[in-house]
Structure 1
Amino acid sequence: MIPVTAFAGKTVAVFGLARTGLAAARALIAGGTRVALWDDKPASRDAAVAEGFELTDISRSDWAGYDALMLSPGVPLTHPEPHWTVAKANSSGVEILGDIELFARTVNASPEHRRPRIIAITGTNGKSTTTALIGHICAEAGRDVRVGGNIGQGVLSLDDMHGGAVYVLELSSYQLDLTTSLRADVSIILNISPDHLERHGTMANYVAAKRRILLNQGKGDTAVIGVDDEWCSQICTEITAANRRTTVAISASKTIGRGVYALDGLLYDSTGERTAEVCDLKRARSLPGRHNWQNAAAAYAAVRGIGIDAGQARRALMSFPGLAHRMETVAILGKVRFVNDSKATNADAARQALSSYPKVYWIAGGQPKSGGIEDLADLFPRVVRAYLIGEAGEAFAGTLKGKADAVRCGDLDTAVQAAFRDASASGREAIVLLSPACASFDQFADFEARGDAFRAAVQALAATHSTGDAA
């Protein structure tokens, strides 16, 4: 745990008692802060009490007594409308911040010898894989690395800092909205495409939230920016012109005069006087497809930015074991490979998986995002049949009509069984791909729970199938 002393002797309201909120409460208490904890959900309040926390109904409190509101990132800040805690804080002049900001203030207040290196990663897609990949490279290079933020552990639950530590942090747009003083040694924006607009209101607001990861960087810091989409390309142009930091452009689709790029799986480093071939990413078992080549380019550029040797980075790229729920092979039954891509919660993320296979039996659906799957029409010829689940089933069936065979299955178990039956009947090697292009909240607590349910359904099939290998 990282004790937070920025509010020692003061009182902070903490709203949202899931992983982030409780971790922040522990860190604040450890740093000498009085906390007032609350959540709108009775189950979350009960869980906090079961862990020994005392609760305060802050809806009835005098907010003049609070020095800050620690807001969990999932709570609406501005759209579709401010949460009632946000309204109370604003009307009382109470500062609103998140756990990443608490971490940043703790780092900023630390003496130089205790300040760690920080690599911060954001983007619409690929954040988790890139974060895990950077963590793997750092560990293989012998660094004392801690990985967290929007992946795995909340940042304040990670081991306390020292000067030799490296924090590799995945940051969502929700977290960045609540962060003002973080200065990362390396900041990464992988890509930007429309997402979470119901939360940010406009694309401009969403881009601005992502861009906050670059705040406070200066001489000696590195910004790694993807240039394969128009929003990131514009950001890269603007910050390069500002000349405040070292900027490294990355691409998985074109040659870059000064940056890191991948062409047909070959990774190149053109940040020095000569362009050098780093490695053939097609040999990296857990980094298939162009989107993963961009992730690899970003990870390589990031670790070079904190001084890790190119050879160490290359070897670690080859040994990366992959990330759960992101193009993860969970089993092979006969000639059928089951791929768990539950992390694909929007169409752009699903595109990355669909683009990686010539033919798929595609399980899709859930709580739909704006735009549905219309942007994937060019990939529909790869879909042998689609198995539709959740709230999006009817709309997806309409989009696919006349373009790809589709059947409405309703739930995941039914879809897995139907897809396996059809794929097995083909007599050929086949891919059953869960890449939902939707949020999970209509049927599951989160994308991890959806991916775990997919794995369980496949394992149930394996129990009755004589030639299966579970991964």
Structure 2
Amino acid sequence: MKKLSNIFLGKKILVYGLGKSGISTYKFLKKSSDVYLFDDNHRINFKYNQKIISLKKIKKINFDRIIISPGIDISNCKLSKFLNNNLLKIHTDLDVLFSFYDNKSITITGTNGKSTTAKILHDALTDQKRDSRLIGNIGNPVLAEKNITKKTIFVIEASSYQLDYSRIFRSKYAVILNITSDHIERHKSLNNYVDAKFKLLKSQNRGSFAYIKKDDELITKKIKKNKYKAKIYKVQTSNLNKKFDKIYNKYFISDGNKENLLFIFEIASKLKLNKKKLIRSINRFKGLDYRQQIIFDKKNLTIINDSKSTSFASSESVLKNLNGAYWILGGIPKKGDKFKLSKTKCKNLKAFIFGSHSKKFLEILKNKLKVKSFKNMEETLKVIFSEITIQKSEKNIIFFSPAGASFDSFRNFEDRGNYFNQLVKKYINAK
């Protein structure tokens, strides 16, 4: 644990946002610093209520540091004016982690594939008796881990929100899997979004390693414009099918997941992981809920739940590897999002659009493939199951990959994915 020049020890600190991240930050710092709490929801039920202070009191205290949760948008929150007047004091839990620990860290970001890549790498390290901790957007909150030793390796999934507000965080290994247009509503522009991702590389020093996708347009453009101190590895993601002869796990059918594996192989080599054991870990990987998850695979029907998909790019990485499918999509389309698969690739695809934003999806897809629209998800599945007879000789694939945000009808992508699973159970049991 670091002690010298720790910028949080003994300081007056405001923790803003009392979700899992904020609560774990408070618990981590409360013994070494004077910590106060604030949340936009003043009715939040929290056992440390006496530490929650009012907006009036916040303005009277001269805080040394302000640690904000990733979900806080400083341009649209109750403390917006206060935060904009104190920008240099803003930090994240990643900054706290870096201040207290100098352990080896592998930080993974990108538009798609972060969680899967982080989980497989963590599993591989654990299987080979390394003390790996999976933290960040996946696993435990960044500061919730106990019994950290010098040998502990942090595998971190970092969002653009976390990286954007981090000021001093630095990672020995940095990974940018891919970048496509996303979260523009929050970042205001594509350039800002790309900049947030690249803070991960910008903060690295000599002796660090960065892994980026070689043939990613936005990444290539950014790399050419700037100089970085880390040794950069450009991961070649073409000729994918030639590189996976020993991988038989069905989860890795999509190009996107195959690309994730290429990054894992590169990093595993640097970490001196045994390749045979690594492949064994990959083949045992069961996937993550709502991320290209095979929820039914019997007789002549396969059903894939990819509720996490909130953009066309995410859905396309699987669609181009499917020889025909009933593709279910809907939700809130991303601003400026485009469907890039050719008509040839869409030849055997049928799109079933549900929800209040169907018209927007129809406009984008109508000249590419066969499209039908429905009021809701239940109505959509009812029609699809009426078209499919499970005993039919040809293989049927139902691919639920919404390509849009979930907030039109659901709390989050997990809520949406769970609802889809419940509907599938209903129709499967009725067969």
| TM-score, normalised by the number of residues in structure 2 | 0.90
Three-state SS of the structure 2 residue aligned to 1:280 is coil
| 1:252 and 2:246 are equivalent in the alignment | no
Give a deviation string over 1:239-259, Cα, whole Å, max 9, x none.
7x75x3332211221xxxxxx
Query: Is the 8 Å Cα contact of residues 236 and 247 (structure 1) preserved in structure 2?
Result: no
Report the Cα offset of residue 223 of structure 1. Answer: 0.8
Aligned residues: 427
CA distance in 2, matches of 1:92, 1:63: 13
Equivalent AA in structure 1 for residue 92 of structure 2:
G
Identity of aligned residues (%): 27
CA distance in 1, matches of 2:59, 2:346: 60
Three-state SS of the structure 2 residue aligned to 1:388 is strand
| 1:183 and 2:170 are equivalent in the alignment | yes
Query: Is the 8 Å Cα contact of residues 353 and 435 (structure 1) preserved in structure 2?
Result: no
Report the Cα offset of residue 328 of structure 1. Answer: 0.7
Equivalent residue, structure 2, for 1:326: 291
- Out of 82, 86, 93, the residue aligned to residue 88 of structure 1 is 82
Q: How has the CA–CA distance of structure 1 residues 159 and 410 changed in structure 2, closer, same or farther, with 3 Å as cutoff?
A: farther
Query: Is the 8 Å Cα contact of residues 336 and 431 (structure 1) preserved in structure 2?
Result: yes
Equivalent residue, structure 1, for 2:397: 431
Equivalent residue, structure 2, for 1:47: 45
Give a deviation string over 1:320-364, Cα, whole Å, max 9, x none.
222221111011354221101111111111111211211111110
Question: Quick check: 377-386 or 425-434, which moved more?
Answer: 377-386
Report the Cα offset of residue 176 of structure 1. Answer: 0.3
Equivalent residue, structure 2, for 1:413: 378
Query: Is the 8 Å Cα contact of residues 360 and 382 (structure 1) preserved in structure 2?
Result: no
Query: Is the 8 Å Cα contact of residues 8 and 99 (structure 2) preserved in structure 1?
Result: no
Query: Is the 8 Å Cα contact of residues 59 and 85 (structure 1) preserved in structure 2?
Result: no
Equivalent AA in structure 1 for residue 364 of structure 2:
T
Report the Cα offset of residue 8 of structure 1. Answer: 3.8
- Out of 360, 377, 396, the residue aligned to residue 361 of structure 2 is 396
Give a deviation string over 1:222-266, Cα, whole Å, max 9, x none.
111111212222445567x75x3332211221xxxxxxxxx2423
| 1:72 and 2:69 are equivalent in the alignment | yes
Which has the larger share of strand?
A: 1
Equivalent residue, structure 2, for 1:99: 93
Equivalent AA in structure 1 for residue 414 of structure 2:
E
Q: How has the CA–CA distance of structure 1 residues 136 and 354 changed in structure 2, closer, same or farther, with 3 Å as cutoff?
A: same
Query: Is the 8 Å Cα contact of residues 63 and 89 (structure 1) preserved in structure 2?
Result: no
What RMSD, in angstroms, separates the aligned Cα atoms of the two structures? Answer: 2.7
1:210-249 mapped onto 2 (5 Å cutoff): 210-236=197-223, 244-249=229-234
Equivalent AA in structure 1 for residue 83 of structure 2:
A
Report the Cα offset of residue 69 of structure 1. Answer: 1.7
Give a deviation string over 1:100-148, Cα, whole Å, max 9, x none.
12212222xxxxxxx4220000111111111111111111211111112
Equivalent residue, structure 1, for 2:430: 464
Q: How has the CA–CA distance of structure 1 residues 14 and 378 changed in structure 2, closer, same or farther, with 3 Å as cutoff?
A: farther
Q: How has the CA–CA distance of structure 1 residues 418 and 24 changed in structure 2, closer, same or farther, with 3 Å as cutoff?
A: farther
Report the Cα offset of residue 403 of structure 1. Answer: 3.9
Structure 1: gaps of 5 or more residues:
108-114, 254-262, 268-278, 466-471
| TM-score, normalised by the number of residues in structure 1 | 0.83
Three-state SS of the structure 1 residue aligned to 2:22 is helix
Equivalent residue, structure 2, for 1:367: 332
Query: Is the 8 Å Cα contact of residues 120 and 187 (structure 1) preserved in structure 2?
Result: yes
Equivalent residue, structure 2, for 1:147: 134
Query: Is the 8 Å Cα contact of residues 67 and 94 (structure 1) preserved in structure 2?
Result: no
Give a deviation string over 1:362-384, Cα, whole Å, max 9, x none.
11011221124443464772464
Report the Cα offset of residue 316 of structure 1. Answer: 2.5
Equivalent AA in structure 2 for residue 36 of structure 1:
Y
Report the Cα offset of residue 165 of structure 1. Answer: 0.9
CA distance in 1, matches of 2:41, 2:57: 16
Three-state SS of the structure 2 residue aligned to 1:195 is coil
CA distance in 1, matches of 2:151, 2:285: 23
Structure 2: gaps of 5 or more residues:
none
Give a deviation string over 1:268-296, Cα, whole Å, max 9, x none.
xxxxxxxxxxx526523322222112100
CA distance in 1, matches of 2:87, 2:212: 36
Query: Is the 8 Å Cα contact of residues 92 and 165 (structure 2) preserved in structure 1?
Result: yes
Equivalent residue, structure 2, for 1:273: none
Question: Quick check: 325-334 or 358-367, which moved more?
Answer: 325-334
Three-state SS of the structure 2 residue aligned to 1:444 is coil
1:10-49 mapped onto 2 (5 Å cutoff): 10-29=11-30, 31-42=31-42, 45-49=43-47
Report the Cα offset of residue 46 of structure 1. Answer: 2.6
CA distance in 2, matches of 1:383, 1:410: 24
